[in-house]
Amino acid sequence: MCNTPADAEARRAIKPVICYPTDTLPQPNMAIYEAARIGAEVIETVLAPARDAASFTVPAGHFFRITSVEGPQVGDLNLWNASDLSERFFSGKTRALHGTHVTTGDRLWSNLPHLRPMATVTHDTLGWYGIDQFGGSVHDVIGTRCDPYTHNLLSGGQYHHCCHSNLARALSDHSGLSLADAEPHVHDVLNVFMCTGFTRDTGQYFMKASPVRPGDYIEFFAEIDLLGALSACPGGDCSSEHSSDTAACYPLQIDILRPAEGALDTWQPPAANGYDRSHGR
């Protein structure tokens, strides 16, 4: 039984406090990235097929660009340290530092104990979208990824092209790990191009048709050597469902770009977090 206290409205009226003020957070030098992008050349192009995933590698100091091609499509992105799968993208801390959705100037942070920027968003053609009247925005770090386990829990189905499954297969194929060994490395994603938010009345995670169109892209600067996997979600633009063989789906293109020689002479890759763990023992 829930008894509403007499001062309920006063309790609700308490002003919120930002959990992680970012005034002291080191900011990326966007001018360096912008200068490095001038004259950068595409050295590799990878295609994530519709309802499937592809892996790719990006050397530190290079860019990678994810582009919508052929039709409106969202994707689920995983990132790992290319030489150490235990260091991977930490969506929760990225969300705590930058908010529920990322855009130009925001960074994708790695998990503890590393906690360093893995990649920086340098360009986002959907940056104009902002936050809509429903509280929706683009490129979220609040969703997990569609997966066959939740699908089975809710519908009893055995669907094998959920983004979780696609990412696990892509990592297995790239690394040589068995599927069983690769799957635990799959982690919560950056939902590229996906338009999402939380309902105000029930607090439920929602999705709506993505505003992405062919030619739209989001581009990143790789702060460390990266291994990535991108799944072209089986929900297409996620206007109605995210695990489907009937939704219109399209591939996503990943371009790896090498800056012109000498463009990053003053840039240094970020070191792992400087916290001394020995003091906590």
Q: Which residues pair with 258 in a beta bridge?
A: 41
Model pLDDT, residue 280: 66
Q: What percent of the chain has pLDDT over 70?
A: 99
- Quick check: 69 pLDDT over 90? yes
- Quick check: 189 pLDDT over 70? yes
Q: Are 66 and 217 in contact (CB under 8 A)?
A: yes
Model pLDDT, residue 129: 98
Q: Are 164 and 145 in contact (CB under 8 A)?
A: yes
Model pLDDT, residue 1: 74
CB atoms within 10 A of CB 64: 25
Least confident stretch, 25-34, 233-242, 250-259: 233-242
Q: Tell me the mean pLDDT in the region 151-173.
A: 93
Q: Where are the domains of the chain?
A: 44-247
CA distance 217 to 48: 14
- Quick check: 277 pLDDT over 80? yes
Q: 99-147: per-residue pLDDT in tens?
A: 999 999 999 999 999 999 999 999 999 999 999 999 999 999 998 999 9
**Residue 168 — pLDDT band, cuts 50, 70, 90?**
very high
The encoded tokens of residue 15 equal 């002003």
Which residue is it, tokens 């979208």? 129
**Residue 246 — pLDDT band, cuts 50, 70, 90?**
confident
Please state the separation of Cα 25 from the chain's center in Å.
20
The mean pLDDT value of the chain amounts to: 95
Q: What percent of the chain has pLDDT over 90?
A: 90
Q: 84-93: per-residue pLDDT in tens?
A: 999 999 999 9
| E strand map for the chain | 41-48, 53-58, 63-68, 75-81, 84-88, 107-109, 117-124, 137-140, 190-198, 205-208, 217-222, 226-232, 252-258
Least confident stretch, 61-65, 146-150, 179-183, 227-231: 146-150
- Quick check: 273 pLDDT over 80? yes
CA distance 105 to 267: 16
Model pLDDT, residue 281: 67
280 vs 134, higher pLDDT? 134
Model pLDDT, residue 16: 94
- Quick check: 267 pLDDT over 80? yes
Q: 270: which DSSP letter?
A: P
Model pLDDT, residue 19: 93
